[in-house]
Amino acid sequence: MEYQLVLDGEIHKVSLEFKEGRYVFDFGNKKLEVLSESVDPNTFILVIDGKTYPVYIAFDQKKIHLWVEGEKYEIQEAESVKEKKFEREGIDVEGKKSICAPMPGKILKILVKEGDKVRKNQSLAIVEAMKMEHEIKASIVGFVKKINFKEDDLVDTQEPILELEVETEEQTE
């Protein structure tokens, strides 16, 4: 099986196979045959090239923490930084973020146009709800992809007022 792992902040492609009682790790430029023996749920012994290494392991959300010969290593399944950021900020896989009203109301003003570049925390629209004006701000850096309403339209909380597209590295160059 092939994996992309993050080890100490760097992404490594790793192939893992189990054959003849040993694990074979293929790092692309190096292969390791590893014999592994479990001591308890948080400790195991690795034998690599005839040398024995006690390994202590702990799990934390998506990370695995390993201690080998006094050194600590963090391993996690690789997700691109973009995917993690998108998930955290509510952005879909195509890099789009829908901007909705905080509560049902009426759009007083749209402050941007389709195609405009926006910065994080930039005001995008003003919505009136419960006799109060609510400023809708960008939560990301990007571009206005689509505006779904116009001024004086009524909106609900589930209806995106506008959609932003995340600025990609190619667009900034």
Does 99 share its domain with 63?
no
Does 6 share its domain with 25?
yes
Does 57 share its domain with 128?
no
Q: Tally the domains of the chain.
A: 2
Whats the size of the chain, residue-wise?
A: 173
Segments forming the whole domain that contains residue 92: 88-172
Q: 77, 109, 127: which is the final residue of a domain?
A: 77
Residue 113 region by backbone torsions, left for phi larger than 0, else alpha for psi between -120 and 50, else beta: beta
The reply to whether 82 falls in a domain is: no
CA distance 129 to 117: 27
Which residue in 23, 66, 1, 46 sits closest to 13, CA to CA? 1
Q: 22-65, pLDDT tens digit by residue? A: 888 887 778 888 888 888 888 888 888 889 999 888 877 677 77
Start-to-end Cα distance in the chain: 36
The reply to whether 83 falls in a domain is: no
What pTM, to 2 d.p., does this model score?
0.47
Q: 61-90, pLDDT tens digit by residue? A: 677 778 888 888 777 665 544 445 444 445
